[in-house]
Amino acid sequence: MKRTIGILVAMLFCIGIASASNVVDVDMDVNSGSVDIATNGFDHSTWHPGSIGETNTFSGLGDFEGNYHASEGSYGKLNSFINVNSDVFGAEFVMTDYQYFNILSANNNRNVEGYFSAYAGGSDNVAMNLKSVGSMYVWSEATNGGIALQGNLIGKRAWTTKDDILKSDIYLSVSTTGLASISNSAAWGWTNGGIGSSSANYNGGTRTIIATGDGTYLQQGFGANSLNFNGFDFGAGSAELSATFFGGMSGTYAMSSN
């Protein structure tokens, strides 16, 4: 899809209405325009027929190209993939995911809902390469290893609620005059669980931040019952790391809460 300045491309997909084999596949080549995609997964079982187990969205603004792909699994789950890169004039990318574990788990009704958002933006070399894979009890983003987000400003947040009360919450962002990236050494990354948990370290591996230039780094975590924050174990509570840097930064982080 080629679009010029001022043209909005908007798409809404509700897959899974007819069968559990529906697929959304969108190739994008946008010049100074925007794309908005929303994909819903519907339960085809006898547990919650027609109910939405997961919703995934992508928004892109600026000058970019790439692909969005989503397919439906059991109990309203989705497998969604976004791989986009900016062209010379830069771009902004946002991906969100919502998980309703009452539906996804079929019969494990704990009233837990999960949320995830990721952002990458800047004037050049902006990238978002994320998978969103739901299952009955655990949802996770993934990259198969490598860079998940890249730009002048990048950020991720994962959180859960139980009976509409915040249960877990983890957040990270980097803003720099140079270029920042976040990457995973293993496939799986940030995760929400059906018990009301969030983690940046699902299934092992390390999580790395690298940035050039001058900027700020912010990392936050909250757990209604427990919190692990960069190797420190806490009971219920919150933690925050905020830093200003000059001449770049690099390091690893770890967070999990419930």
pLDDT tens by residue, 30-84: 999 999 999 999 999 999 999 999 999 999 999 999 999 999 999 999 999 999 9
How much is the pTM? Answer: 0.92
Q: Determine, yes or no, domain membership for 224.
A: no
Q: Determine, yes or no, domain membership for 258.
A: no
Number of neighbouring beta carbons within 10 Å of residue 51: 16
Name the residue among 123, 12, 10, 150 with its Cα closest to residue 62: 123
- Confidence band of 201 (pLDDT split at 50, 70, 90): confident
- Per-residue pLDDT tens digits for 12-23: 444 433 334 578
How far apart CA 137 and CA 101 sit, in angstroms, is: 7
Q: Determine, yes or no, domain membership for 30.
A: yes
Number of neighbouring beta carbons within 10 Å of residue 45: 15
Q: Tell me the residue range of the domain where 47 lies.
A: 8-212
* Count of domains observed in the chain: 1
Q: Determine, yes or no, domain membership for 21.
A: yes
